[in-house]
Structure 1
Amino acid sequence: MDLYKAAFLLGALVCTVSSNEVDGYVKTEGAWILSLQKRVYSANTADECATRCNTETSFTCRSFIFTEKDQECRTAAANSKSETVLRRSSTVLYEKQVYLLECVNGIGTDYRGTKSKSKSGKLCQRWEGKFPHRPNITPQSHPLADLESNFCRNPDGDSGGPWCYTTDPNTRWEHCNVSSCTEECIYCSGEKYRGKISITENGFTCQRWDSQTPHNHGYNPSALPEKFLEENYCRNPDGDPRPWCFTTSESKRWDFCSIPRCTAEPPTIVPEMSCATGEGGAYRGTIAVTESGKRCQSWSAQTPHKHNRTPENYPCKDLDNNYCRNPDNERMPWCYTTDPETRWEYCRVPSCGNSSRPGDPVIPPEEEDCYEGNGSTYRGITSETVSGKKCQFWNSMFPHSHSKTTSNFPTADLKRNLCRNPDEDRAPWCFTTDPSVRWEYCNVEKCSSVSSTQSTSMFDNPFVDTQTPEQQDCKIGIGETYRGPTSITLSGVTCQQWSSQSPHQHNSFTPQSHPDKGLEGNGCRNPDGDVNGPWCYTTDRNKKWEHCDIPDCATLDCGSPVIKPKRCFGRIVGGCVSKAHSWPWQISLRTDNGVHFCGGTLIHKQWVVTAAHCLESSKRPSAYRVVLGIHTERAAEASKQERRLEKLVLGPNGADIALLKLERPALLNDKVLPACLPDKDYIVPSGTECYVTGWGETKGTGGDGVLKEAGFPVIENKICNRPSYLNNRVKDHEMCAGNIEGGTDSCQGDSGGPLVCYAQNSYILQGVTSWGLGCANAMKPGVYARVSKFVDWIERTIRTN
């Protein structure tokens, strides 16, 4: 090729039209972008809007925004790479995937990424620029080649791939270092590897991530959408040195994958020198002592502690000295210590902007977990959206970049990933950890509806909702079955008839298009599964549609305590004292003369689950009593219920679980209520926040004699079985949970008690406190019988006894 590049091939971007027009687009719900170049159309479907974008002639369409309720389509020249993504209800942002990729297919004539430096690091000249070089390939000569900035492109089909004119007067043009989309390689430790290798380095075929056979695991794709656990492809969801997978061989639980490192430059990060954002992955400061004052061991050294967190295994993590770092997705920066007795500790690195870190403790307020007004003063600890999605940490920019930070909203209490309302929206909300859903309102009730529902007497038949949704002016869940009479919106506007086209024309939601959605009148409904609840088109010509204020229906069901728990979580030594009767399934297992020695969980009005080892002293039911409805170990409350036992049933195959049949059923009320059982074989996703309760040994942390609670994350068995943790002692029918740095744990006297996890408005019994190596020791989390593995046995035992 001569010095002046000849234009012999027009690099045209062709959008493929298929039966599904949105193929090739990345979808993000609840997102909106501003663009100077845009067009607004009317469209009934996202496919129609995609067609508008694919055939746009006014500019290069890189994305579109579709609002189904408004039947509005906005095509745009911008996307999330060039413009800030904003938060907006009921909109969906579709971005052409080709403009988001930072890799090339073939020679890269279709490359539309944002690299703007040549291979030697020279900044690219703008394609329409005249200095320092007068180009002969311009936006005018190649109108379909996307030469609108200074990004690397291949408008002439150069066999060497994308290139650009440079800003160096001595170098007219140069190729760019853009990696291949089809090249199977990893950057750093492969945390963002999205390739399709599914064979391990030892030749094992990978097990699908959404399968639990032959190996059970806690890496659930639906619960961890940000980890991209697709098919059976090798991935690195837990900070290992490189991608791995569970295998289809029963003899090999998991294995690393052999994927070469990419030769192109790794992604850059903005180093944080004096503070840490989020989990501190970008911290590059010089702190080299731990929280307790111990000096850090050099990352390249193997004494006094041997390890694999080496500069070679983690090449992008700046492990060159002994500075505190976070190479493996821990809660915050840490290091191995020079103390032979202390393997590692976290470091006290200041958090940027006074924001809290993932490992910081949370002691919730004493008031009920509900919000007043629009929830701008809400300070509760809910971190789950109305559709059950986990909230993204406020000081994290992944998977969603945003401006709702502590520095921008200093009075909004943006701690951890707790639901808040920093911008005066109508209710608490959060960004979600699902890349395809930018934000949602949170699963928090308004205080007025909480008080009104709890004042209703429901104890005659607590597990049966005697009214149908059609008879109640309240909603269940997001209100898809709501058929009540309310026809007024949040701002007090009367709803338009669903069959009417005045004052607002609409074709998406009519009695004819959705005959089973209750659209016969003008009542508030939820025909599209809007996670924010029922809505309607309004009779106000200036407001096309709006949500309605429909309270949640009152229920008293398993796992739904009337008195909401504190849910104290994090590194709170010894946990905290519970609110009285906020864990109404907790029972005290006692000797025949009334001495408490173990815990247990009410799962049915006449059945309790506990640990089998609690029954080692005697197999006679008469040797034990169960006490329910108490908060203090003294059991002097008027709400106390005491039951003798009719039967003991030990778990199958020697597992540490047992069932106790009460001599007569418990009286269910607001202080005695069963916990829910999990789905059969369900594996709690790694990192899920769960809670243990009990009257056990407090090791001098206070609260003796009253029920205490502690919250901490589930630890996947793969991690828990590492040599430095519990060294392969944990079996498939068991699970681990705890703070790996220690400080909080279940202990003697808590055995047999519940480990419950909150999901979709209920507390579910996922574990039975079983064993541990000491109490609250670092890297020695508690071990629990995995209840989901015994659901069949539990249900069969209750049915036949």
Structure 2
Amino acid sequence: TGPVIFSVILSICYLFVLLVSAVVLDEYAKTEGAWILSLVKREYSVGTVLECAIKCNIEPAFTCRSFMYVEKDQECLTIPANGKIESVLRRTSTSLYEKKEYLMECVNGIGMDYRGTKSKTNSGKTCQRWASKYPHKPKYALMTPSTHPKADLESNFCRNPDGDSKGPWCYTTDPDTRWETCNVQNCSEECMHCSGKNYRGKISTTENGYTCQHWNAQKPHNHGYIPSALLEKYLEENYCRNPDGDPRPWCFTTSPSKRWDFCSIPRCTSDPPRVVEELTCATGDGSAYRGTIGVTASGKACQVWATQTPQQHNRTPDNYPCKGLELNYCRNPDHEKMPWCFTTDPETRWEYCKVPSCGDVPGPDYAAPPPAEEDCYVGDGTDYRGMVTETISGKRCQSWSSMTPHSHNKTPQVFPKADLRRNLCRNPDGDRAPWCYTTDPSVRWEFCSVNRCPTAPNIWSQMLSLILFSVDWLSDCKVGNGGTYRGPTSMTMLGVTCQSWSAQSPHQHASFTPESHPDKGMESNNCRNPDNDVNGPWCYTTDRNQKWDYCQIPDCAGLKCGQPVTKPRRCFGRIVGGCVSKPHSWPWQISLRTNTGVHFCGGTLIAPQWVLTAVHCLESSKRPSAYMVVLGTHTEGANEPSKQERKLEKLILGPGETDIALLKLESPAIINDKVLPACLPEKDYVVPPGTECYVTGWGETQGTGGEGLLKETGFPVIENKVCNRPAYLNNRIKDHEMCAGNIEGGADSCQGDSGGPLVCHAQNTFVLQGVTSWGLGCANAMKPGVYVRVSKFTDWINSQIKMNS
């Protein structure tokens, strides 16, 4: 029984350690890839993040507000600062842990434990530093950092060191006012500032008494506000939130008859977050612009925000109290691309305004036409101008001009030559590869899912490749982050030989050895990923000045659905207006033709013998012999040697009145680098709003050039809740349909594109999310295109293919 008792004791000890770790680390908010540069700090060498947290908790030299931990280096740094006091920087493989109590901007009880950063009193007076004796000497000379070391009397932040019943206070910098109470919100108070964009309370009942549906649920209402895809929106449980710029928080309801409803949340009595007003120019999307321009870019006069003629709207000063909606000045109250206004022209509801851009950037960051670049980078990727907007772990990139969820200084104004448009992956600061800030609040930044461009191999590497191939060597490519990589590469991306994992020279390490990770293939000095680093395999190096570095391991590639051999341009131009695709970069695009060879609709190859298109494309005849399909071409004339023609064996119309149809080819298409299926989505998946998707086709260009060549355009998905607003498509959109487009118009599918694909990019793959169906005109403002939502029909598609095979 001895070994059994010993095993039980070990298990209990292990569980106790896990419990202690969870309790201690729960006091901290963790952010990956973040670093605070602090002059005051203490460095420790510890084996675990728990040990580092304990060091911070008992730090004797200063009040420890946060710590940084580098697992690969077993390096721990405790600091007195946090992201509210000092700037947060980028750093590879570093985790920043900030004490939550110092991040809270509300008080419990009388606020003796308040450790926030408010430094103004109720009347707006600036607080005096606690250590200062001017203009007011501290009360009884006792309210100082030295006399109250546990009260956190640092800087000039509001505090309550003496237990004042009115809450936190401070001495003021006004000689006539010795001290005043600060207006700090109570943590238990359920209230919102402005339109409730930052509301994080727990109200989950609407103003009409409906219970809120959980955000991660898709019943009774299917929607695109998916918490895992919109982490920056804090869509927790079934709490009321405002993820789409409505006047106040809302939620989907649990009643099948009421899709969504506003929530009744009172306004906070404390001061709202301050905006640093921009009076003469606009930065980023111009949400801070408070200048006096009152005409649109085309010269139309702006309508006063408080009036309802000639345009009726809800962008009123009452609904948007913090957005500077004064008189008829151009503003951006709802997260548009730049300042705009309703116009006094009854025929033009609204337009953007021409507000000068702050700094040396010529106009808004999205206006420049996209460069036709390969989606691979040379060197360190400083000159990379591709269209990737996703990190190596699949996270969506944050816009460079946005300060949420991560505040930073890598803006188009600071780096005017770095092409920091939208949320495209770039390398403005000369890092080792293109990167971006992420929309995940807990992960500050990551390298992007972009491969290095192949270089011409020299004779020695060619000979080595032949030798390796002849002995059937392990595949030298990675899948995902390379956690399963067991290839032979043993050199870092900068050309330095790797140190053996079992060696302790030139670099000592204990966390990653063959003994500690026996199943990770660490027998030699080959690149591996024992800690599942999102950026891929790495190794300790033989360079004494560089402890470790990443390895350049290419992604494993092949003819897989949704992964074209020729990378698309992914252009944000327009089909109407002209943006010609790279030949064969959308290899699932087919041309649906009459049996005489005249193109009239598009379609998508989803399997070697199956095409998806729109029912309305088949109105002229329900006979398969009336049509033919052309694959593998770039030109509408279809004269390329790569062309494949197929007659149809069967037409299968979608269920009910839906605009979707399956076409069975008489014989399967030959899958190659120019003909490849798109991937089908998961059942009932709803694409999150703002997701970048692409439409292709040979449709109408309205005389703007490029006729006869395959064109493309990229634009964001619009959630059905927004698309059904009266000013958009006024409740015309059904659950089995979806909207996509720029609300200002200018990019859209058009006649001749019908039945073609709307594909969205995720995890290095294009997924068919929509079938081009209908729209009100082509590229009209506030009239986005409408597409059949393919995820609603995956069961039907699979059953029909199985039944008719």
TM-score, with length taken from structure 2: 0.93
Gaps (5+ residues) in structure 2?
1-18, 463-468
Which residue does 1:690 correspond to in 2?
A: 693
The alignment of Structure 1 onto Structure 2 pairs a total of residues equal to 774
Measured after TM superposition, the shift of residue 362 of structure 1 is: 5.1
- Of 313, 324, 334 in structure 2, the residue corresponding to residue 328 of structure 1 is 334
Gap change, CA 1:592 and 1:467, over 3 Å in 2:
farther
Which region of structure 1 is more displaced relative to structure 2, 349-358 or 713-722? 349-358
- Of 652, 655, 665 in structure 2, the residue corresponding to residue 649 of structure 1 is 652
Which deviations, in whole Å up to 9, do the C-alpha atoms of 1:459-479 show, x marking residues without a partner? xxxxxxx99998211212221
Gap change, CA 1:355 and 1:261, over 3 Å in 2:
same
1:538 aligns with 2:549: no
- Of 724, 744, 747 in structure 2, the residue corresponding to residue 744 of structure 1 is 747
Amino acid at match of 2:494: S
1:85 aligns with 2:91: no
- Of 299, 310, 320 in structure 2, the residue corresponding to residue 304 of structure 1 is 310
Amino acid at match of 1:77: P
Contact 1:357 1:416 (C-alpha < 8 Å) held by counterparts? no
Measured in 2, the distance between the counterparts of 1:757 and 1:337 equals 34
Which residue does 1:706 correspond to in 2?
A: 709
- Of 501, 505, 509 in structure 1, the residue corresponding to residue 508 of structure 2 is 505
Gap change, CA 1:618 and 1:311, over 3 Å in 2:
same
Measured after TM superposition, the shift of residue 710 of structure 1 is: 1.2
Aligned to 1:577, what secondary structure does the other structure show?
coil
Measured in 1, the distance between the counterparts of 2:364 and 2:692 equals 12
Aligned to 2:767, what secondary structure does the other structure show?
strand
Which deviations, in whole Å up to 9, do the C-alpha atoms of 1:572-606 show, x marking residues without a partner? 85341111111111001111111111100001011
Amino acid at match of 1:717: N
Measured after TM superposition, the shift of residue 408 of structure 1 is: 3.0
Amino acid at match of 2:499: Q
Measured after TM superposition, the shift of residue 309 of structure 1 is: 0.6
Contact 1:469 1:475 (C-alpha < 8 Å) held by counterparts? no
Which residue does 2:628 correspond to in 1?
A: 625
Aligned to 2:149, what secondary structure does the other structure show?
coil
Gaps (5+ residues) in structure 1?
1-15, 457-465
Which deviations, in whole Å up to 9, do the C-alpha atoms of 1:675-726 show, x marking residues without a partner? 1111111111101111111111111222211111111111100010111111
- Of 658, 670, 689 in structure 2, the residue corresponding to residue 667 of structure 1 is 670
Amino acid at match of 2:108: N
Gap change, CA 1:468 and 1:159, over 3 Å in 2:
farther
Amino acid at match of 1:517: K
1:129 aligns with 2:132: yes
Gap change, CA 1:799 and 1:449, over 3 Å in 2:
farther
Amino acid at match of 1:350: P
Which residue does 1:12 correspond to in 2?
A: none
Gap change, CA 1:18 and 1:568, over 3 Å in 2:
closer
Contact 1:360 1:571 (C-alpha < 8 Å) held by counterparts? no
1:275 aligns with 2:281: yes
- Of 226, 248, 265 in structure 2, the residue corresponding to residue 259 of structure 1 is 265
Aligned to 2:76, what secondary structure does the other structure show?
strand
Gap change, CA 1:524 and 1:469, over 3 Å in 2:
farther
Measured in 1, the distance between the counterparts of 2:303 and 2:655 equals 46
Which residue does 2:406 correspond to in 1?
A: 400
Which region of structure 1 is more displaced relative to structure 2, 538-547 or 596-605? 538-547
1:768 aligns with 2:771: yes
Measured in 1, the distance between the counterparts of 2:780 and 2:236 equals 36
Contact 1:592 1:622 (C-alpha < 8 Å) held by counterparts? yes
Alignment of 1:163-312 (within 5 A): 163-312=169-318
1:30 aligns with 2:33: yes
Gap change, CA 1:750 and 1:573, over 3 Å in 2:
closer
Which residue does 1:443 correspond to in 2?
A: 449
Aligned to 2:283, what secondary structure does the other structure show?
coil
- Of 392, 395, 408 in structure 2, the residue corresponding to residue 389 of structure 1 is 395
- Of 396, 418, 421 in structure 2, the residue corresponding to residue 415 of structure 1 is 421
1:70 aligns with 2:66: no
Contact 1:479 1:533 (C-alpha < 8 Å) held by counterparts? yes
Measured in 2, the distance between the counterparts of 1:293 and 1:234 equals 40
1:161 aligns with 2:167: yes
1:494 aligns with 2:500: no
Which residue does 1:800 correspond to in 2?
A: 803
Contact 1:278 1:393 (C-alpha < 8 Å) held by counterparts? no
Measured in 2, the distance between the counterparts of 1:660 and 1:47 equals 59
1:720 aligns with 2:723: yes
Measured in 2, the distance between the counterparts of 1:515 and 1:793 equals 46
Measured in 2, the distance between the counterparts of 1:356 and 1:106 equals 51
Measured in 2, the distance between the counterparts of 1:264 and 1:642 equals 69
Which deviations, in whole Å up to 9, do the C-alpha atoms of 1:602-647 show, x marking residues without a partner? 0101100001111122221111100101111111111111000111
Measured after TM superposition, the shift of residue 543 of structure 1 is: 2.5
Measured in 2, the distance between the counterparts of 1:395 and 1:781 equals 25
Measured in 2, the distance between the counterparts of 1:605 and 1:242 equals 49
- Of 440, 464, 481 in structure 2, the residue corresponding to residue 434 of structure 1 is 440
Measured in 1, the distance between the counterparts of 2:762 and 2:699 equals 26
Amino acid at match of 2:424: L
Contact 1:324 1:335 (C-alpha < 8 Å) held by counterparts? yes
TM-score, with length taken from structure 1: 0.94
Which residue does 1:111 correspond to in 2?
A: 114
1:138 aligns with 2:144: yes
1:554 aligns with 2:554: no
Contact 1:449 1:552 (C-alpha < 8 Å) held by counterparts? no
Which residue does 2:793 correspond to in 1?
A: 790
Contact 1:362 1:568 (C-alpha < 8 Å) held by counterparts? no
1:569 aligns with 2:575: no
Measured in 2, the distance between the counterparts of 1:728 and 1:53 equals 55
Contact 2:576 2:750 (C-alpha < 8 Å) held by counterparts? no
Measured after TM superposition, the shift of residue 353 of structure 1 is: 2.1
Which residue does 1:8 correspond to in 2?
A: none
Amino acid at match of 1:416: R
Aligned to 1:793, what secondary structure does the other structure show?
helix
Measured after TM superposition, the shift of residue 90 of structure 1 is: 0.5
Aligned to 1:426, what secondary structure does the other structure show?
coil
Measured in 2, the distance between the counterparts of 1:573 and 1:282 equals 33
Measured in 2, the distance between the counterparts of 1:762 and 1:182 equals 45
Amino acid at match of 2:319: N
Measured in 1, the distance between the counterparts of 2:550 and 2:748 equals 44
Measured after TM superposition, the shift of residue 533 of structure 1 is: 1.2
Contact 2:575 2:748 (C-alpha < 8 Å) held by counterparts? no
Measured in 2, the distance between the counterparts of 1:532 and 1:770 equals 39
Contact 1:722 1:728 (C-alpha < 8 Å) held by counterparts? yes
Measured after TM superposition, the shift of residue 184 of structure 1 is: 0.5
Measured in 2, the distance between the counterparts of 1:197 and 1:151 equals 30
Contact 2:571 2:713 (C-alpha < 8 Å) held by counterparts? yes
Aligned to 2:797, what secondary structure does the other structure show?
helix
Measured in 2, the distance between the counterparts of 1:550 and 1:265 equals 52
Contact 1:602 1:675 (C-alpha < 8 Å) held by counterparts? yes
Which region of structure 1 is more displaced relative to structure 2, 342-351 or 363-372? 363-372
Measured in 2, the distance between the counterparts of 1:199 and 1:570 equals 43
Which residue does 1:459 correspond to in 2?
A: none
Aligned to 1:353, what secondary structure does the other structure show?
coil
